[in-house]
Structure 1
Amino acid sequence: MRIMAYQPVRRVKSGIPGFDELIEGGFPEGTTVLLTGGTGTGKTTFAAQFIYKGAEEYGEPGVFVTLEERARDLRREMASFGWDFEKYEKEGKIAIVDGVSSVVGLPSEEKFVLEDRFNVDNFLRYIYRVVKAINAKRLVIDSIPSIALRLEEERKIREVLLKLNTILLEMGVTTILTTEAPDPQHGKLSRYGIEEFIARGVIVLDLQEKNIELKRYVLIRKMRETRHSMKKYPFEIGPNGIVVYPSGEIY
């Protein structure tokens, strides 16, 4: 009888201080993670930090598909953390796909731009080409509700997400998809109720009132191939981006 040798799970570092120790050293390579939370919880910052630090610290190219704000606005906002996205774009380590300008009727000087007329198959093929163009190891799509709004029939989002999941698995990239959590306190983790089922990991970002102040918390709801706590951990968005406090204390 032949005994198969155990193959350890290869991990992809998040680039977020304090977070990786909650998930055995990083995301399982090639996994799809859903990042969900309400408005102002830090989803875009978390996702952008994952892409930027991948290029800066780990030499892993990444693609950021922005469907909620123009690429130029994203760069400006992230520069407040000292992140020079344009530097790594010029080096071919980061690609930002502008999915907003054409929709609102504004001209775009970006290298990667989605067309105004949204077609799911074309969208998926285009993302696939951009990923292959820079040999990306990381991918962010921000956000799923913005994809749904571009569909002629919003109910088709289930079909789109299933197709998207298949393409992502074929590409083998480690992916973060962002979505909105209507009511995470009562188990409503996503707007369409399917996002958390196609993803292999689910991370919830939350704002809670404590001592008449709003505090930020992160909860790892699901992460396959990973042992993780089901506790909420505090985090802050500071001058250098997001920092998670595994000890539960903010210093």
Structure 2
Amino acid sequence: MGRYVVERVKSGIPGFDDLIQGGFPKGTTVLVTGPTGSGKTTFAVQFAYKGAELYNEPAVIVTLEERAQDLRKEMATFGWDLERLEREKKIAIVDGVSAVVGLPSEEQYVLEGNLNTEDFLRYIYRVVKAINAKRLVIDSIPSIAFRLHDESRIREVLLQLNTILLEMGVASILTTEAPDPGRGKISRYGIEEYIARGVVLLDFVEKEVELKRYLLIRKMRETKHSMKKYPFEITEEGIVVYPSGEVY
């Protein structure tokens, strides 16, 4: 019997794939966690955008933190033209904010304000199929909980979401807040890291009175990876990881 070879999905983040044997395992769900301002949305959107742009892998971005039009503007600062890829049906952005805050939306894909769990998951499934997406981003898990008005149901929702993602076979990034990574609390609800097959922590460390960004791979199934903290920067062209940089 030949050796089992894991198919890999390129992250689109310079330097990062060197840390995970060439990319994320195909069809995997990765949790990107960290405190506010650590770069989670940028990391997730870069994965989606570069997948569509460089590797011809269409992507769905479900934005629950900011309106689609604001996300486009923010990402344009990196030179990423999301609108062009949307026109080419390589990216679909699902606006999950407008209805919740009571604003009208002119987007093609909009989540209604009062969707239940099943409808929410079904809608995402439909958009993935509509553009034959190979990648999916959901930003963020706490915002799903906020929509539910019942945080105790988040466990059930995440388990259902995980089942559907595995069934779809897309490579997915979910983002969540890490309230206190220094003390080991790396996700808001404590269940996110268990449903994900990979966990990437983005955080800051104080270095000579300056805050420096670092990345730590807490878990990645089917992958040999280091448990060191690697420096990264958010440059004019997005996130860059330095695998041979000074480890904190």
> Residue 159 of structure 1 aligns to which amino acid in structure 2?
E
Q: What are structure 2's unaligned runs of at least 5 residues? A: none
CA distance in 1, matches of 2:149, 2:135: 29
User: What residue in structure 2 maps to residue 105 of structure 1?
Assistant: 102
Quote the offset at 1:152 in angstroms: 2.8
Matching of residues 142-153 of structure 1 within 5 Å: 142-153=139-150
> What TM-score do the two structures reach when normalised by structure 1?
0.97
What one-letter code is carried by the residue in structure 1 that aligns with 2:102?
A: G
* Distance in 1, Cα, partners of 2:198 & 2:58: 21
Pick aligned residue for 2:158 from 156, 161, 164:
161
Q: Does 1:42 align with 2:14?
A: no
Q: Partner residue of 2:22?
A: 25
Is 1:226 the counterpart of 2:219? The answer is: no
Aligned residues: 247
Instruction: Give the Cα separation in 2 of the matches to 1:193 and 1:22.
Output: 25
1:60 aligns with 2:67: no
Using the TM superposition, name which of 107-116 and 5-14 deviates more.
Answer: 5-14
SS at match of 2:175: strand
Query: Do residues 177 (structure 1) and 174 (structure 2) align?
Result: yes
- Unaligned segments of structure 1, at least 5 residues: none
Letter in 1 for 2:194: F
Q: Which residue of 1 aligns with 2:214?
A: 217
Question: Counterpart amino acid of 2:86?
Answer: E
Q: State how far apart, in whole Å, the 2-side matches of 1:143 and 1:37 are.
A: 12
Partner of 1:115: 112
Query: 1:136 corresponds to which letter in structure 2?
Result: A
Q: What's the TM-score, normalizing by structure 2?
A: 0.98
Letter in 2 for 1:162: L
Cα deviation code 1:50-69 (max 9, x no counterpart): 00000111110000000000
2:19 partner letter = L
Q: Secondary structure at the match of 1:146?
A: helix
Query: How far apart are residue 249 of structure 1 and its match?
Result: 4.5
Opposite residue 192 of structure 1, the aligned amino acid is: Y
**After TM superposition, what 4+ stretches of structure 1 lie above 6 angstroms from structure 2?**
none
* RMSD between superposed Cα atoms in Å: 1.0
